[in-house]
A and B are shown apart, each in its own frame.
Chain A
Amino acid sequence: MAEIIIKNIRKQFGDFVAVQESSFTVEDGEFFMLLGPSGCGKTTTLRMIAGLELPTSGEIFLDGEEISQRPPSARDIAFVFQMFALYPHLNVRKNISYPLVSQGMSKSKIKDKVSEVAGILGIEDILNRPVGGLSGGDRQRVALGRAIVREPKAFMMDEPLGALDAEFRERMAEELRALHDRMGATTVYVTHDQLEAMQMGDKIVVMNNAVVEQFGTPREIYDKPATMFVADFIGSPSMNFLDFEGKLAENDTQVELSGTVLNIPALREGAQGKLSYGVRPEHLQFSDKANFRGEVIASEYLGTTQIVTLDTACGMLKARIGSDQKATVGEKVGLNVNSQTVTVFDRSSGQALKSALNEGVVGNG
């Protein structure tokens, strides 16, 4: 198993820059997510690691060896495509053993390998079945088996769950993560689904417009977003932004929005001009006594919690509160903000201002 170091890789197709100079490290055994909207460059990055595209410049190290210009076959990386790509005329055993047969491995060794892999995936009882009649879940396990059986240094997966319906996707995501925990194989996984990334990933790279916006653990990225894009893309519903204009100095702990004074974590840098006050929906709570007030516009029931849309003097907000609390449309309520979780952004650059909350995470590239 292996560590992958990406150093300043860049990819250009003609005049079009698909990936701007990007650097990050995938540590040995990590489940690593490349996350972003379509067209952000995440799949191109994955394809460069696998060798399906060659970078225009930059270096890729796999276990210390520079491999950026090698063909895919010389990289010892398994690429798992949309998982239903199986040979329809072959049975499960033959589908899984295919990569080994083409390597010229002996029959007895292949047999051992296939039973080992079938054991890991829990598909021993369907080895002799044709793949045609299998359920979606089993087909997916077989496709994974075909990648695992080669024992590559790393796995690349490009939206493997994208085509599945919501409920089944969640189940397969759990299974994939559990499989990873059993095998400990370095995995790079591309997705546009932020929940999938948060749920499965040890680390996440968030990309947008060919640029890496942030790189870190799910928790860092959620709690300490480096840019407005990241804050908006991660979380559902996403972070609330209350726009304002003003001048802030280092060590400030308050901002004023349309006459309302709100607390913020102590700033570590000043800023002026177009700014935005960012707060996550779950950090707003109803409180009768609070001065900051809003009118309930809508409430969406989600079982454990509900999402309440509120109209305030500073703009529209969404709050996530317990579904046992009352939120009547038209009612005016007071709002308490968990101010230590607030991030202030500079709207002209899109960057988060450094503060007591995010120092050490934001601004370290």
Chain B
Amino acid sequence: MAEVQLKNVSKSFADTSAITDMTFGIDDGEFVVLLGPTGAGKTTTLRLIAGLENCDAGSIEIDGTVVNHYTPAQRNVAMVFQQYSLYPHLSVRDNLAFPLRSPILKTPEDEITRKVNEVAEILHIPNKLDNKATELSGGEMQRVSIGRALVRDPAIFLMDEPLSSLDAKLRADLRVELKRLQAEMKKTLLYVTHDQIEAMTMASQIGVLDEGRLVQFGTPRDIYQNPNSTYVAARLGQPRINLLPSGLFGENGPQGASQIGLRPENIEVGKGRDAHILRVEHLGDQTRLHLKFVEHDLVTLIDAHSDYQEGETIQISAVDPLFFDAAGSRIS
């Protein structure tokens, strides 16, 4: 149970600046996801909070206390890594109990039994407790490694792409499960990923990172509908937002508008100007049209059962475009 506050945190490795002047807060019980491509500073942020790295500048507070000089153990955080690292020679029960038996915690055995059983119940693995860790499937192993964080009752959970090594189907199931768990336990959780679906579906707040800087922080809906830059706009949404020169559809942008952002659902098909269909992608639940419109490529979505063909000409118009300036900052 804790809130976390980062104030003007910076971190460099030799000449490379990994995190620059980062400030954000996580309220007690919130699920915050940091989203960004490889190298954006997601993992470094997590490691700074965990105490695995020290900041060069700024402060990190957990529950109102500055923890910059605390050891990882003193910070009482639990970290789940991308690669589950279980003790292969131990049973699931002993793997789960391991953190509780550490010399610092010195938990009594009956307390350990109670906690392990409780966590196994939450993770739907009570029947696997006596299996060796190596006898589990990938998804079960990752659940055990999450369980090893849960038994400790830490102030905060820190998770570094814990689902990325799992196959798509299991990832989808665990997404829902993790979100449910966090909501039930009302724990503070900070999760980093480069997967926009994970960010959108699980987060109560998303922080978007770009080259070590936090560029936007808000609810998934807010970030999707009101991105403050073209960079943020392109992070969320599949297919990606179309970024085009302002005025292309004859619309009147505000002063300084140089680009417009149009999500595929903001392109209306059936009226407006001519566009040429380059390719039709049937993805089952949605059909994507790749279009050539006045020398520009763009993508829109149409009803999955409509029958447009490659080579056809259709009419399109823009609905509520977002306007950005030449540098990519949102104007309106």
Interface residues on B, range: 35 or more
Q: Which of A198, A223, A238, A298 is B169 in contact with, Cβ under 8 Å?
A: A238
CB-based closest 7 A-B pairs: A222-B284, A300-B201, A219-B282, A282-B285, A165-B194, A303-B224, A198-B283
Chain B residues closer than 8 Å to A12, beta-carbon distance: none
Q: Is the CB of B197 within 8 A of A199?
A: no
Chain B residues closer than 8 Å to A291, beta-carbon distance: none
- Can you give 25 A-B contacts (C-beta < 8 A)? A37-B167, A166-B194, A177-B279, A181-B279, A192-B167, A198-B281, A199-B283, A217-B282, A218-B283, A222-B282, A223-B284, A232-B169, A235-B285, A236-B168, A237-B172, A282-B285, A282-B304, A298-B176, A298-B179, A300-B175, A300-B201, A301-B220, A303-B224, A304-B265, A304-B301
> How many whole Å from A121's CB to the nearest CB in chain B?
17
Main SS of the interface on chain A?
Answer: mixed
Given A168-B37, A198-B283, A199-B281, are A304 and B175 neighbors across the interface (CB < 8 Å)? Answer: no
Chain B residues closer than 8 Å to A307, beta-carbon distance: 201
Nearest B residue to A309, CB-CB: B176
> Mask for B172-203, Cβ within 8 A of A = 1, else 0?
10011001100000000000001111001100
Any A CB within 8 A of the CB of B221: yes
Any B CB within 8 A of the CB of A194: yes
Any B CB within 8 A of the CB of A151: no
Interface residues on A, range: 35 or more
Q: Is the CB of A167 within 8 A of B194?
A: yes
Any B CB within 8 A of the CB of A193: yes
Chain B residues closer than 8 Å to A141, beta-carbon distance: none
Q: Which of B65-104 contact A (CB under 8 A)?
A: none
Chain B residues closer than 8 Å to A11, beta-carbon distance: none
Nearest A residue to B264, CB-CB: A304
Which residues of B does A touch, CB under 8 Å? 37-38, 167-169, 172, 175-176, 179-180, 194-197, 200-201, 220-221, 224, 235-238, 240, 263-265, 279, 281-285, 301, 304
Chain B residues closer than 8 Å to A281, beta-carbon distance: 285
A-B interface contact total, Cβ < 8 Å? 82
Complex Cα spacing A37 to B166, Å: 12
Any B CB within 8 A of the CB of A234: yes
Q: Is the CB of A302 within 8 A of B284?
A: no
Nearest B residue to A38, CB-CB: B167
Any B CB within 8 A of the CB of A245: no
Q: Is the CB of A302 within 8 A of B200?
A: yes
Any B CB within 8 A of the CB of A42: no
> Mask for A294-326, Cβ within 8 A of B = 1, else 0?
000010111110010100000000001001000
Given A167-B194, A194-B168, A234-B284, are A301 and B38 neighbors across the interface (CB < 8 Å)? Answer: no
Nearest B residue to A165, CB-CB: B194
> How many whole Å from B16's CB to the nearest CB in chain A?
16
Complex Cα spacing A48 to B271, Å: 51
Any B CB within 8 A of the CB of A195: yes
> How many whole Å from B155's CB to the nearest CB in chain A?
26
Chain A residues closer than 8 Å to B240, beta-carbon distance: 170
